[in-house]
Structure 1
């Protein structure tokens, strides 16, 4: 991939009518499972079990010539015998049979195919030839193909779980406003599970594998168009279609949808590993950095950073400036937060002299400059929390405030008053990002989240999120050339 002088000008929608051709894949009304297994633990059995458990309300057609029924659902010997052209076919057969199976699906007017099977371009020259044959089917027929060598797709809102990942057993994803696309199936599953355990709702999940047709770049564009998606998370080892990536990132920026992207292969060793994994072209890392900066993409280095930024972005508040206020009950943590903020280029602007004087009259031994240290006296006088927060917000200086309370904000006598203080502050100042750094059980954390405040145990992570979200705000404010937009199917 090479960088254009002004690649914003390439932001027109690509020739593929992605909003129509990917809808049957991501929102199918009918699904065939070719190679369906009666054993719900096998690769061909898991998607059927997952969809039944999730209450998928579409039609499911197991295809297995050796069985009359699969998991108590009538089976068909071939895709040609299925009584309707299905939206999506899941192909779970040996690699040597995949091309013939895909051709049969195309002949049966299947709209999209998900190919679990491995043993293609990532393995050998012969595998490369089979993958090229799949790409030719996608080019010459209306059928879209995900994979091969992928873990599948899900739409948690409809109960469509076209995947064999075992992580569904640890916690079924819940619908949210996040779309996740990953070249790596195993890592995409890892992200999905951790997001689910953290309470981050993943609506659409796509693993693209070897990308003989549908790729990460196209999926980002589809997610950018979807009205129910507000945050996009992506993982890739390489991108082959430069122009489509530019178009999709420009579209996401034009729609005000943050993209959090982990592009690996930063080193020569990592790039070589990427080529052997999904046969992706890793590309020059500095070029990706430049592209991501241009389009306002947050490039994450690890799982924690990806999901921290995605989680905070779901609250929908992006600071209009890089001025941050820091409130703390610990002077030492105030120093930590200030160091982190300054090192990341945030502005730890002091409170005005008048505001400092007012707070000094309430607590003479506190430090009200910024960070604003209200000390442990908050235990004795909870009005200090409300007053200090009100004064900080009244300054009109800060577009984000990080408040460190550790377990104090979760203590039985404290949680009600403190959560209500922040709920009211968010109501009066909806454009200010208020982040809590507390430790507490999930039900207490949810109270603060319901008040509109992202919650982090580590105050440094909270500050890093302010940096990321303020950069999104800067990117959204930049001029973007007009992009032709068509809403996808729901």
Structure 2
């Protein structure tokens, strides 16, 4: 008997019961409930009773005997039954002191609405720490403080005082929202209502004393009612936690849309390397977002529009987009925006154009954009235009459709809306409708589309952003093992003996064990050793200072190039004397390598963060050009090759203006090996940089690591 495939969503018992209580509570206590009309703290009780919460509500306030027709209890100990959730409408200190009683009442979660915590200064920080400690001691999960609460339409649970609900309960639907700011969350709730977007869950996390935005989101993404998950982030998030959320959303095919106002990782350190300067503090966020298909919103209204598109429209299979418009100018503007966003506007196939030619006037256009011209509406009929749209949607060469209407108004607008409201939901490809006309002239038409759940965009840019965001991103493939010939045992042993700044000379054995080729080199520790060197007279040499405190040797005058054998000893002597105050380990005497393409390969890691491997143009101009590509480490050679080919400078490797194609596979192999060294270094790694990597037009040793820097910070006992 075949086993049934498990649901991709987690079983309810696998979810945190404390977080689950926020959305599925059957009994709610409102501590500090108010009966004063107009008081925001009266709203949760008002919303729960008026909007049909299907559980029990227990107001708690010794100043009332009843509130809104319900018995009001003097304290939590007086409740007639255990509760699942406590809404604490009390001052901050009282919320902390109430935590043992909240737990004793059975609540697994509490919402602390009060302000006066970490947002107010040192005293508030201490009070918030007390709240967190008390909640954890008593096993209560906390939303807030300084928040506006939660809602879940599953049970019509409105545990919030947001004014966005003054017009009544929200429509049930597939959008789940989590964000710190209650005001931003309220705006999103209000604008979603206006667009006819249905909500499943909504949370304002406030100061995040316990539960964070990402932690709540990680719970919501598992719920089958969550079709689109929207986040507003205004403080740093844990890199691993966010990547896990993004990866899980991608696995479940749940759209994750993020609006953020803070871009740097908490505790990030400025790296001494070029790599750290290029990647930036929010590098891990950006990589996770790109690789796992996170949709990034630019503002509140953009988030709402994108959420609507992802709820209402199917995903696209590719970039090919057809534009059907009533105006050549509108079509041209839409095509420009499509190209900016990586969408393609290709000519339609001859058979598609032949079908269109029977409907579009001779002075129109049937290639792409398809311009029907305003003449198609001369008879005030919309049948021909709708048929043109239908043909565009049915074309096999098309992945997505943008319908750009201009001044289609009045009764014609209503007729058009009715027809498109019937057509668009039936199409298995995303269809974005742009309506460039005043709302007062298209009120009826827009209302028809709203009721049908069809998004309407006000500009071609909005529509094309939505279409571009609907493309699926394939999940990244992580390497299954170490590269061939990589001696992990030796690399691990050598790394375990190092801390602080690791110089190039110290890393020679590590690089050799990792299978990374370097120029022939010797460490010279004193003048006598320099004078006794046996050097070939048929080649040139490089002398480089080796000192833990010198990250950029060239800028300090610690590198001399193109020396002949007779010059090496004198330069080594002078360099050791000039840098004596830097406590040098010595100077490295290296064979000079022929000219070639120079790249940088670096790995950076913030405290508690994820390692990021970056490739780009190398040498001293690395930061000037900033032509780089970044992903999570480690990588295999296949992924490394894809990174290299993402560079604008990739033609320098593959062959440019008559220059020979270089060994890209060998470069990719080196990138992979560097990333695995960083992976073995683990959390101690702060930065690792090979800059430059010299790529040569030769069969033997075509790729060499010319310089190396690594910083390790190990925990002290």
Q: 1:73 to 1:442 in 2, by over 3 A?
A: farther
Answer yes or no: is 1:454 the counterpart of 2:451: no
More off after superposition, 37-46 vs 343-352:
37-46
Normalized per residue, the structure richer in helix is 1
Find the counterpart in structure 1 of residue 391 from structure 2.
Answer: 391
State whether residues 349 and 397 of structure 2, in contact with CA within 8 Å, keep that contact through their aligned partners in structure 1. no
Structure 2: which 5+ residue stretches go unaligned? 1-8, 269-279, 480-717
Pick from 375, 378, 385: which aligns with 1:377?
A: 375
Alignment of 1:2-13 (within 5 A): none
Secondary structure of the residue aligned to 1:368 is: coil
Answer yes or no: is 1:160 the counterpart of 2:157: yes
Alignment of 1:40-51 (within 5 A): 40-51=37-48
Alignment of 1:110-189 (within 5 A): 110-189=107-186
Q: 1:203 to 1:395 in 2, by over 3 A?
A: closer
Distance 2:388 2:467 in 1: 20
Per-residue deviation, 1:182: 0.7
Answer yes or no: is 1:322 the counterpart of 2:330: no
Per-residue deviation, 1:221: 1.4
Find the counterpart in structure 1 of residue 705 from structure 2.
Answer: none
Q: 1:425 to 1:437 in 2, by over 3 A?
A: closer
Answer yes or no: is 1:191 the counterpart of 2:188: yes
Secondary structure of the residue aligned to 2:172 is: coil
More off after superposition, 461-470 vs 162-171:
162-171
Q: 1:34 to 1:126 in 2, by over 3 A?
A: same
Per-residue deviation, 1:325: 0.4
Find the counterpart in structure 1 of residue 603 from structure 2.
Answer: none
More off after superposition, 107-116 vs 453-462:
453-462
Per-residue deviation, 1:194: 1.3
Q: 1:419 to 1:218 in 2, by over 3 A?
A: same
Answer yes or no: is 1:404 the counterpart of 2:401: no
Find the counterpart in structure 2 of residue 70 from structure 1.
Answer: 67
State whether residues 329 and 373 of structure 1, in contact with CA within 8 Å, keep that contact through their aligned partners in structure 2. yes
Structure 1: which 5+ residue stretches go unaligned? 1-11, 272-282, 482-490
More off after superposition, 390-399 vs 195-204:
390-399
Find the counterpart in structure 1 of residue 422 from structure 2.
Answer: 423
Secondary structure of the residue aligned to 1:431 is: coil
Distance 2:71 2:452 in 1: 49
Per-residue deviation, 1:318: 0.9
State whether residues 152 and 200 of structure 2, in contact with CA within 8 Å, keep that contact through their aligned partners in structure 1. yes
Find the counterpart in structure 1 of residue 696 from structure 2.
Answer: none
Q: 1:66 to 1:244 in 2, by over 3 A?
A: same
State whether residues 147 and 181 of structure 2, in contact with CA within 8 Å, keep that contact through their aligned partners in structure 1. yes
Distance 1:44 1:451 in 2: 36
Alignment of 1:191-270 (within 5 A): 191-266=188-263
Find the counterpart in structure 2 of residue 57 from structure 1.
Answer: 54
Answer yes or no: is 1:337 the counterpart of 2:334: yes
State whether residues 217 and 239 of structure 1, in contact with CA within 8 Å, keep that contact through their aligned partners in structure 2. no
Secondary structure of the residue aligned to 2:312 is: coil
Distance 1:390 1:190 in 2: 36
Q: 1:437 to 1:143 in 2, by over 3 A?
A: same
Distance 1:443 1:376 in 2: 21
Larger radius of gyration: 2
Pick from 344, 347, 352: which aligns with 1:347?
A: 344
Superimposed CA distance per residue, residues 318-346 of structure 1 (whole angstroms, 9 cap, x where no aligned partner): 11101110000111111111111111111
Secondary structure of the residue aligned to 1:176 is: strand
Secondary structure of the residue aligned to 1:327 is: strand
Per-residue deviation, 1:259: 0.7
Distance 1:173 1:450 in 2: 14
Secondary structure of the residue aligned to 2:40 is: coil
Distance 2:382 2:32 in 1: 63
Distance 2:202 2:219 in 1: 12
Query: With CA pairs under 8 Å and 6+ residues apart, which has the higher RCO, 1 or 2?
Result: 1
Secondary structure of the residue aligned to 1:178 is: strand
Find the counterpart in structure 1 of residue 98 from structure 2.
Answer: 101
Root-mean-square deviation over aligned CA pairs: 2.8
Task: Say how many residue pairs are matched.
Answer: 449
